[in-house]
Amino acid sequence: MSTPPVLSLALPSDTGRVLSIQSHTVQGYVGNKSAVFPLQLLGYDVDPINSVQFSNHTGYPTFKGQVLNGEQLWELIEGLEANDLLFYTHLLTGYIGSVSFLNTILEVINKLRSVNPNLTYVCDPVMGDEGKLYVPEELVHVYREKVVPLASMLTPNQFEAEKLTGLRINSEEDGREACAILHAAGPSKVVITSITIGGLLLLIGSHQKEKGQKPEQFKILIDKIPAYFTGTGDLMTALLLGWSNKYPESLDKAAELAVSTLQALLRRTLDDYKRAGYDPTSSSLEIRLIQSQDDIRNPNVELKAERYR
Residues noted as catalytic:
234
Contacts of 306 (CB under 8 A, 6+ apart): 218, 219, 220, 221
- Pick the closest to residue 263 from 281, 245, 290, 288 (CA basis): 288
**Which 3 state secondary structure label does DSSP give 288?**
coil
143 class by beta-carbon count within 10 Å (0-12 exposed, 13-18 middle, 19+ buried)? buried
Nearest to 189 by CA among 242, 150, 152, 234: 152
Count of other CB atoms within 10 angstroms of residue 11: 8
Backbone angles phi, psi at 112, to 5 degrees: -65, -35
